[in-house]
Amino acid sequence: MKASFICFGIALMQCFCCLVGFAQSTGGKSRVVKLSGGLNAYAGLYRSTGIAGRNQPNPFGLSGAITVSLPGGVTLPFSGVLGNQGTSFRQPFNQFGLSPSYKWATVHAGYRNVTFSPFTLAGHTFLGGGVELNPGLLRIGAVYGRFNKAISSSIADPNIIPSFNRTGYALKVGYGKVNNYIDLLVLRARDDTNSVSGVVSAPEQSIVPAENLVVGISSRLLLVKHITVEIDAAASSYTRDIRSSEVSAEGSNFLARFLGKMITPRLSTQLTQATQAALGYQSKWGAVKLQYKRIDPNFQTIGAYYFQSDIQSYTVAPTLNLLKGKARISGSYGVQYDNLAKNKNVRTGRTVGSLMVSVNPQPEFGVDISLSNYGLNQKAGIRPLIDTLRIAQNNLSATVNLRYSILGQEMSHVFNATGTHQQLSDLNENTASSTENNNENVNIGYFLTHNQSGFGANLMLSYTQSGLPARDSSMTGNVKFYGPTLGTNYSFFKKKLSTSANCSYLVNQQFGITGKVMTASANAGYQIGKRQSISLSLNYLNSNTGQASEKFNEFRGSFGYGITF
C-alpha cells in the first residue's frame, strides 16, 4: 500500500509538472493551455460499539483533480483517488468528442449527443461526425456514425452479452428561428450482420440484427400574437430481425407504402407512430396550455434510449397572475390511459391534477400552497377483471409553507413553517385495509444571522406521523418521529477560520417501541495563504431503536490538507 501510495503521488505530480511546463512555455499573453485543479490528502479515525465497523479504523488517502483547458472550449479533466478505502483513476479519453461553433455553423466530431426532435434523434450517443448549419432562417443538420459497438462473446468469457455493430445517420431540414420554426427529419440505422461472431451460451444472450427508419416533423410556431403551437410527430418502421422473410407493402396505408419504398418490409417489421402537440395562449394576466400525446404500443427509435409507449393523454394547464404580480395561481389536470391496441388483459387509466397558489403581499412575507391528486384505476381489457386484483387508488398531497423575515442592519431573522399531508386512499374495499395510509409532517425553523460578523444560528423542530396498516389488532399502525435540530456557524481571524456545529435529537415511536437517535457534528476549515487549506471534521452518532440488539455508537473524525492551482 505504501509503495502504491508513493507511486500514485509521484505520477500525479509528474503529470502536473509536465502540464505546467507546457503551459508556461507558451509565455505571457500567448498562453494556449490553462490548468486548474487541486490535491487533497486526508487521514481519519473511525470507532464503533454495538455493531460491526462500517469503515476502516484509520482511513487515509490522497486525491487529485486536474483540468486542462484548450483553445476552443475543450476541457480535459483528470482525477484520481488512492487510499485504503479504494483506488480509482479517471480520464476523458475513453469517449472524447468536441463540437466547435463559428457564427451559424457547428461541427460535431467524436462521441457526441445530439437531439433533433423527441421522437427521432433524441440524445443517443454515437461515434462519428456531423454539422448543424443555421444561415439566416435556414436550418440544416446531419450526423453519421456508430450508434452501437460490436461485442462478441467467447469461450473465455461466455457471459458477455453480444451486440451488432450499428451505424446510422440523421438528417434535419427546416426553416425559421429558434422559437418559431418547422423541421422535417429522417433517421435511419442498421445492424451489420457480419460484425458478431462468438459463442452464445444462454438463450437470453441470443440477439438478432435490427433496422430502423424514422421520418418526423418538429415545429414551434407563433400563429398570431400570444398563441403558439407545438408539434412533434414521427412514424417509425422498426425491423426486429432483418433476416426474416420479405413481405409486400402494397394494400397498406399511404405511410406504409411510402416507408416501404425506402426499406425492405419483412415479417418482423412494425410500423408505429408517436405524436405530441400543444396549443398555448400567454399574456400579462396569465396563460393556458392544452396538450395531447399519443405513443403507439412498442414505438421505438434507435435515436433514443427509452420511450414510454402505449399511452394517450390529454392535459390542460392554466396560470393566473393577480394583484400586480404579487399572487400567482397555476394548475394542471390530465387524464392518461393505455391499451391503445386493445390487446391487454387490463386497461389502466390515470388522472393527475395539481394546484399551486403563491401569495407575496410584501417582500418579507409569503405563503405557498400546493395540492396534487393522482388517481389510478383499472378496467377489464380482453379478459374479465377480478375485483380482489383490481387497482383503484387515489393519492392526495397538500403542502402549506409560510415564511416571514425581519431584515435589520445588524441582525436578520427568518421564520419558516411547513406542513404537509399525504394520503393514499384505496377505492377497492377488498384491499383497502392493507394498503391505505396517511402521513403528516410539520417543520418549523428559525434562522438568525449577524450581518456584520457573519455569525449564524438556526433551530429546527420537526414532527412526522404516519398511519400505516397495523400488523395485528394489538398494535397501533401509527409511527411518529419528532425532535429538534440546532446549528451554528461563525468565522474567525478575518474569515480565514470557518467553523460550524450541528446537533439533532430524534425520537421515533413505532408499533409500541420507542427509540432515540442523536447526531452531532463539528467542522472547521482554515485558509493558509491563497491556495492552501486544512480542515477538521468530527461526527458522532448514537442510535437506540428500543431494541438492545440494535443499540450502537459511531464516531468519525477526519483531518485534511488541500492545495488548489
**Average pLDDT per consecutive 10 residues, the chain (565 residues; last block may be shorter):** 44 45 41 83 93 89 87 75 80 74 92 94 94 96 94 71 91 94 96 76 71 95 91 94 83 66 85 95 93 95 90 96 92 94 90 96 94 90 78 92 93 96 87 84 96 91 86 65 96 91 93 89 93 95 82 94 92
First to last CA, the chain: 27
If asked whether residues 250 and 107 sit together in one domain, one would say yes
pTM: 0.78
Q: Please, are residues 476 and 470 in contact by the beta-carbon 8 Å criterion?
A: yes
Give the separation between CA 166 and CA 151, rounded to whole angstroms: 11
- Total domain count for the chain? 3
**Which has the closest alpha carbon to 322: 360, 354, 290?**
360
**Residue 43 domain flag:** yes
Q: According to the model, what pLDDT value does residue 97 have?
A: 81
> So what's the pLDDT on residue 201?
52
Residues 67 and 114 grouped into a single domain: no
pLDDT computed for residue 27 by the predictor: 39
Identify the burial level of 464 via C-beta atoms within 10 angstroms of its C-beta, where 0-12 means exposed, 13-18 middle and 19 or more buried: middle
47 and 113 housed in the same domain: no
**How far, in Å, CA of 484 to CA of 481, rounded?**
11
Q: How far apart are CA 539 and CA 557, in angstroms?
A: 6
Domain identity same for 73 and 143: no
Domain endpoint, select from 294, 309, 324 = 309
Per the structure block, which three cell numbers stand in for 347?
386497461
What is the Rg, in whole angstroms, of the alpha carbon atoms belonging to the chain? 31
Q: Are residues 143 and 64 in the same domain?
A: no
**Which residues are 286's β-sheet partners?**
283, 320
Q: 108 and 220: one domain?
A: yes
> 10 exposed, middle or buried (CB, 10 Å; 0-12, 13-18, 19+)?
exposed
Same domain, 215 and 72: no
User: For residues 144 and 128, is the Cβ–Cβ distance under 8 A?
Assistant: yes
Dist. CA 264–CA 318, nearest whole Å: 46
- Assess if residue 290 is contained within a domain: yes
Task: Please say which residue of 53, 73, 94 terminates a domain.
Answer: 94
Contact 198, 179 (CB under 8 A): no
Cell for 323?
Answer: 394583484
Cell numbers of 264, please?
425492405
Please indicate, yes or no, whether residues 257 and 131 belong to a single structural domain of this protein. Answer: yes
Question: Which residue's C-alpha cell is 443555421?
Answer: 134
Predicted confidence at residue 8, as pLDDT, reads 43
d(C-alpha 48, C-alpha 371), whole Å: 44
Asked whether residue 446 is domain-assigned, the answer is no
The reply to whether 471 falls in a domain is: yes
Within a domain: 367? no
Measured CA to CA, the distance from residue 203 to residue 302 in angstroms comes to 23
Residue 457 to residue 454: CA distance in whole angstroms: 10
Q: Which of 70, 94, 118 is the last residue of a domain?
A: 94
* Shared-domain flag, residues 2 and 115: no
Q: Longest Cα pair distance anywhere in the chain, in angstroms?
A: 85
Q: How many helices (H) and strands (E) does the chain have?
A: 3, 28
Residue 92: what pLDDT?
Answer: 62
Identify the CA nearest to 41 among candidates 72, 96, 81: 81
Do 283 and 181 reside in the same domain of the chain?
Answer: yes
Q: Do 116 and 20 have their domain in common? A: no
Same domain, 58 and 43: yes
Residue 161 φ then ψ, to 5°: -85, 115
Give the residue numbers spanning the domain of 40: 1-94
Which residue in the block uniquely carries the three cell numbers 400488523? 471
Cα separation, 454 vs 99, in Å, equals 44
